[in-house]
Amino acid sequence: MGAFTMRFLRLLLLVMILGVCHIGWAQSPTYGLGSTPTAEEIRVWDISISPAGNELPPGRGTAKEGAQLYVQKGCAGCHGATGSGGRAPNLIRRQGMPPNPAPGTMAGMEMGPPGIMALRSPFGATIWDYINRGMPLNKEGTLTPNEVYALTAFLLYKNEVIQEDEVIDAQSLPKVKMPNRDGFAPPPEWKHGTPRLRDYP
């Protein structure tokens, strides 16, 4: 046999071996690694709340209840006893800052770290969502819906967005008129295949 024929036969043998191995791999068991999540497992992790608040759970809370929780849950340890001046971002407007900046402006809002979410956020549900998924630090996910509603009400009241006696729940929170609701410009209309920005490649 010539050298070419030998090389061809070796290549053919290699292809056949790989083909047999591929069939074996395709038919091999999964060894029990991983599983399809159950509906309950998905429900536990599916905690995202849209700006419209459609996914908010049942519950309620007031600013007075939230003031007590702010101390009990250790919020003051990071954010300061008055909601500002701690090592974590400010949560409450300091004296001298305008209570409600004009729509479309960031006046007096300490933009950038630390911004004040209750003034900066265009939607109240965003505040609820952040507290629910991210607080307290190192104990995330331990607050009940009622506690999250109460803390949200407390922050909104202390920043003069709602009245102290208002009850915050799944129906009332999305209706809260946030000071910066109109301060975010909608993204420009864009069509596939066109530049995202004018004069941008």
Encode pLDDT of 55-76 as tens digits: 999 999 999 999 999 999 999 9
Q: Are strands 168-169 and 60-61 parallel, antiparallel or unpaired?
A: antiparallel
Nearest CA to 53 out of 176, 150, 184, 163 is that of 176
Residues near 88 by Cβ (< 8 Å), separated by ≥ 6? Answer: 78, 79, 114, 137
| Number of structural domains the chain divides into | 1
Q: Is 69 part of any domain?
A: yes
For 60, phi then psi, to 5°, come to -160, 160
Q: Is 155 part of any domain?
A: yes
Q: Is 200 part of any domain?
A: no
The string of pLDDT tens digits covering residues 174-198 is 999 998 888 777 666 777 777 666 6
pTM of the model as a whole = 0.68
Q: Is 26 part of any domain?
A: no
Using the predicted structure, report yes or no on whether residue 51 has a pLDDT greater than 80: yes
The string of pLDDT tens digits covering residues 102-160 is 444 444 344 433 468 888 888 999 999 999 999 999 999 899 999 999 999 999 999 99
Task: Specify the 3-state DSSP secondary structure of 18.
Answer: helix
Q: Is 181 part of any domain?
A: no
CA 111 to each of CA 2, 93, 129, 187, 198: distance values in angstroms, whole numbers, following the listed order: 78, 12, 20, 20, 27
Q: Whole domain around residue 113: which residue ranges?
A: 59-175
Task: Find the CATH number of the domain harbouring 153.
Answer: 1.10.760.10
Q: Is 102 part of any domain?
A: yes
